[in-house]
Amino acid sequence: MYENISYEIVKEGVGLLKINREKVLNVMSLETVKEIKSLIESKLQKEDIKALIVTGAGSKAFVAGADIKQMKEMSRPEFRDYCEISHGNLNKLQDMEIPVIAAVNGYALGGGCELAVACDIRIASDNAKLGFPEVKLGIFPCWGGSQRTSRLIGPGKLKELIFTGEMVDAEEALKIGLVDKVVKQEDLMNEVFSMAEKICLNSSLAIGFAKEVINSGSEMELKEALRMELNQGVECFDSEDRVEGMSAFLEKREANFSGK
């Protein structure tokens, strides 16, 4: 169905979305972001999966950015359309009820770094390099990167990254909180699959509630966020998964969650 991306269920409950443009370091052209939009709206919204992994083809790049050659020829309305589609895609990934894990397998620059930041968890290979080089092109990160990343690593460090346009290596990205874990390049996908499988053993309903309150609460005043957490916690308690999970614990057996 797609020329620039691929999607498959690789293990029970785990979906894999791959940006499949290895020859050009998986840069996200207009056609690519349209394909991602189509996949999210037509399949991922209906797919019965418990975790989604996002990565790039090959071992050199996660996504090396947007398509500069294409952008150079865009009019202002065309660029807005490009950004609107990308914003929508990243918003939908962020808002999915299931965890989304970025397997950062090399360069994650510009729009690629923005894609990674929109995911819930970022695991990077030791050859990864991340950054926002847009100012070197006369623009700045506007697919959500200036806002999501500020909330992730703080405005001071983000300003340094954006204003200089310099990349950071995987260890520095880990140090500043831009990624959550670094592993050897050859171990990356095993590590990501292992985490996804651990997630799939737990209550997808409870994980969905947790993701919602974490995401929404970060935008609220603390007292309002605590009230929301309490209300959603009580709502989650009134579920089949809660009964099954507590029963399994007391009966010393593995829980069989239904997501209800």
**Helical H runs in 18-154?**
30-39, 68-72, 76-95, 111-118, 145-153
Backbone angles phi, psi at 88, to 5 degrees: -60, -45
CA angle 186, 192, 196 (to 5 degrees): 155
Q: Which is nearest to 214 in space by CA: 228, 201, 203?
A: 228
Question: Tokens at residue 202, please?
Answer: 């737990």
Provide the CB-side half-sphere exposure for 244 (13 A, CA).
17
Which of 8, 31, 73, 134 is catalytic? The answer is: 134
CA angle 184, 188, 191 (to 5 degrees): 110
Which of 3, 22, 31, 114 is catalytic? The answer is: 114
The reply to whether 224 belongs to the active site is no
The reply to whether 31 belongs to the active site is no
Q: Which residues are catalytic?
A: 114, 134
